[in-house]
Structure 1
Amino acid sequence: MRFRKLGLVALAAMLAVAGLAGCRTNVGTAASVGKSRISESDVNRYINRQGPNASLVSQARKQGQDVAPKSEVLQALVQDKLFRRVLAKNGGVPSAGELAASRDAAAALLFQTQLTGKALTAALVTGLVRTGIRASFAQEYLTVQSLEYTIIKRENLSQFSDLAKLVKQTGARVSISGRYGKWDAATLQVNRAAAVPSYLKLQPTPGASASSQPSTGGGS
């Protein structure tokens, strides 16, 4: 059983293996975690100007969803900061080498995949690119999974609610720009289905054609 549901990025990777311009307060800030800030440029550096793959967009829309690369990237960046806070309060944050060493085990637990090493990275890169995210984000994404895996193993967690509880205990307040959606503390994800004023458009992907853009007020 998966410890949690896969996001669109992870889903796209597995499929590959199987065959707002709104309120301008706090301009330039995509999110904040406590006193730590994630800028728009932090998110944009990982976004492909070509946008998501048209077939993936079509597939997602048939399922009542949309493809939102910026929200996926921001979600992982927020999770990274939150998981590091949890680990800092519970035994310390592992070194970069220790996190890298746990990637295969993290993927096996969180994604229920037997892919390891270069094959795992290659599959993830394929999914990222299809979703409109640069291949360079693969390392950050895998690091986030390793951070989560470390918490699960170190604290012997058996359900996701226990992880969310540990995150809450850090006292870190998460604030997300409305153009991306709303942070859901229970799922530790960006909820794009949250109500957004009609005059606000969900964050578009730079350079993407109109046919491949997420629809205004998009789905889940």
Structure 2
Amino acid sequence: NFYEKGIIKSIVDIYDLHKRKEELEEMEGLGKKSVKIILDGIEKSKEKDFKILLPSLGFSEVGHKVTELLIENGFESIDLIYKLIESPTSYETLKEIHGLGERTSASIIEQLKDKENKKLISELKKRGLNFTSKGIEKSNKPIFKGQSWCVTGSFENFNPRDKAMELVIFYGGKKVSSISSKTTHLLTGEGGGSKLEKAKSLGVQIVNEEEFIKLLESVGYNI
């Protein structure tokens, strides 16, 4: 066992195993063929997309869903995420992302500002791991470009309602979890509640389900 023998003490050590190739080949139960398979697998793992890599590092609250939300909102690399984290408005920006919230936003900032975590990411970058995502597939008809959408209520054709927000992103928009002065549109269904009232007070454009479907149909999307 590599851990018991002290060969691997951290994730970084895994990516330095090639430096101990001959030592590994001499270990009981291994040999050249087995070591080659191990080292080839490690090398191949460097190609994994950022959306798989970041959650695998084990940072609290930074799992697959959170990573996907960051990428969906334009933070497609660790450099872009750190640029956000170092910004004085990072907390406000994060908690506006639909699906994050206050606790998760605070935890993301805390985890990524942690010195040991920053060092880990830096060392893994040096070893060639992929800290940039291929991004989210998007339409070549970005009808929602430059728009920030929030959603409230329930819908006949979008259940769960996140399906509607996925289409907003696909067609170039952004989704946010709460209404603010930066929100451009509110998609409203049955039982809109407080978000609807706040949107009206801020002059946010209100779009109902039928109107939203017509917008989608204008670019050839059929429900």
Q: Same-fold call, TM > 0.5?
A: no
TM range (shorter): under 0.3
- Rg larger in structure: 2
TM-score by length of structure 1 reads 0.26
Higher relative contact order (CA closer than 8 Å, sequence separation 6+): 1
TM-score by length of structure 2 reads 0.26
